[in-house]
Amino acid sequence: MNFNFSGYQITALISILPANESLFDDEIPNYNFPPQKSKLLKELMGYNKHRIASSGTLASDFIIAGFQHLFEQNIITPNDIDALIYITQSPDYLIPQTSTIIQHRVGLKNDILCFDCNQGCAGFIHGLFQAFFILQNPQIQRVAVANTDILSHKVNKKDRNSYPLVGDGGSIAIIERSGVRNEIFCFNQTFGANALAIHIPAGGFKLPATDATAKDFIDSDGNTRNLNNLVMEGASVFSFVQEYVPVMVENLLEYAKLSKDAIDYYIFHQPNKFMLEKLADKLGIPHHKMPHNIVENFGNGSGITIPLNLCFNLANNPEPSLKICFGGFGVGLTLAGIIMDLEKISYQNIITLKE
């Protein structure tokens, strides 16, 4: 599916991370594998360190801290926000929606639209879609897209397939109208037949969490987990990414009438370094145009890898405008992409949550 917008921009962007940093080398004794094999995997996948939230930290804590920082720095005021889109798969409660709790905690006005979106790896892209749709109403001036997750609380610490990858954190992007009528080209596809390639078996109404679902077992690959933990079929997800993401990129480029070389940067969700390098090679894109250093420094925080990528790799770029191809892919299984001119973002920062 293709659709387009024009005249919107990201005016402020902040990423919020936990202070605690865990090293892969320190975690090797937790896994049911020879240390040497784990070290070989480290080199291949780009494992190094990742940010892990404390046990009592909520995903909403990252967003509350981010808003407070933006207010303290006079980037925006609570009355500036007309809509809050909150993207997470780590809600504070099943009921009510967490966006309303954030609205109260940070003092946003009552005349505001609040939405929760249950999305994972493509969450930031879906948040931008929603913001662009909402901004088509002339009464809406400014939308906050808040994306956050705490994946480390969902993954077994003895699961070498998943735990070394994950990272926690949040991001807030402020979206407004632009003085330039720049075209924004969008793409989305959903492959629900493969939805369970990334899932948590227990904890929902289909299979409530119990003592039985919390009992650890060793899977066929030698990883320890239980039914309350995140399961990712790595081979299936890798095949999905390698088969369908290039099609998405080619579709977007054709839709926007652009060549691959016309794109300054491909800012994609980052499952791991290996997958991004293979994807860049398949697309014929130089590695420096597709930054892939988020997992090795912070971990895979689901949808937040895209805004964190911008803050970490492009915040100091001197160019007044960059043509960016955004790509999100994963949970769902979902593909989502955007090609847009990214004007110089007036405020970008990475801050640490005081837990």
DSSP 97-111: -HHHHHHHHTT--SS
pLDDT per residue as tens, the chain (355 positions): 999 999 999 999 999 999 999 999 999 999 988 888 888 888 888 899 999 999 999 999 999 999 999 999 999 999 999 999 999 999 999 999 999 999 999 999 999 999 999 999 999 999 999 999 999 999 999 999 999 999 999 999 999 888 998 999 999 999 999 877 889 999 999 999 999 999 999 999 999 999 999 999 999 888 899 999 999 888 899 899 999 999 999 999 999 999 999 999 999 999 888 889 999 999 999 999 999 999 999 999 999 999 999 999 999 888 889 999 999 999 999 999 999 999 989 899 999 999 7
Q: How far apart are CA 146 and CA 254, in angstroms?
A: 30
Position 46 scores a pLDDT of: 82
- Which pLDDT value is given to residue 335? 97
| SS3 at position 174 | strand
Q: Are 190 and 332 in contact (CB under 8 A)?
A: yes
* DSSP structure class, residue 53: -
Q: Which residues contact 264 (CB under 8 A, 6 or more apart)?
A: 289, 319, 322, 323, 324
Question: Which residue type does 92 have?
Answer: D
| Separation of alpha carbons 80 and 225, rounded Å | 45
* Cβ proximity of 51 and 169 under 8 Å: yes
The domain that holds 154 is classified in CATH as 3.40.47.10
Q: What pLDDT score does 326 carry?
A: 98
Give the structural domain span for 346: 1-354
* Pick from 292, 1, 346, 20: nearest CA to 167: 20
CA 91/CA 77 separation, integer angstroms: 25
**pTM for the structure as a whole:** 0.95
pLDDT at 181 (0 to 100): 80
Sequence-distant (6+) residues with CB within 8 A of 134 are 83, 85, 113, 140, 143
- The count of domains in the chain is 1
SS3 state of residue 347: strand
Structure confidence at residue 41 (pLDDT) = 86
For residue 333, the model assigns a pLDDT of: 95
Hey, what are 282's tokens?
A: 């398949």
Q: Residue 232's beta-bridge partner residues?
A: 198
Q: Would you say 348 and 171 are in contact if contact means Cβ atoms under 8 Å apart?
A: no
Token pair in block for residue 137: 């109403």
Asked, as a colleague might, if the bond just before 310 is cis with ω within 30 of 0, I would say: no
Question: Taken in order 287, 301, 175, 352, is the CA torsion positive or negative?
Answer: negative
Quick check: 199 and 231 in contact, CB under 8 A?
A: yes
pLDDT given for residue 94 in this prediction: 93
Picking from 165, 177, 169, the residue whose alpha carbon sits closest to that of residue 146 is: 169
Secondary structure (DSSP) of 290-325: S---HHHHT-B-GGGHHHHHIIIIITT---SEEEEE
Contacts 24+ apart (CB under 8 A), 242-248: 242/278, 242/279, 242/282, 244/189, 244/191, 244/329, 244/335, 245/279, 245/327, 245/329, 245/335, 246/279, 246/282, 246/283, 248/187, 248/189, 248/327, 248/329, 248/335, 248/337
Q: Provide the pLDDT for residue 282.
A: 94
Closest by Cα among 81, 78, 82 to 139: 82
Reported as type and span, the H/E element at residue 133 is: helix 123-135
Burial 248-265 (b: 16+ CB within 10 A, else e): bbebbbebbeeeeeebbb
The position carrying tokens 């579709």 is: 251
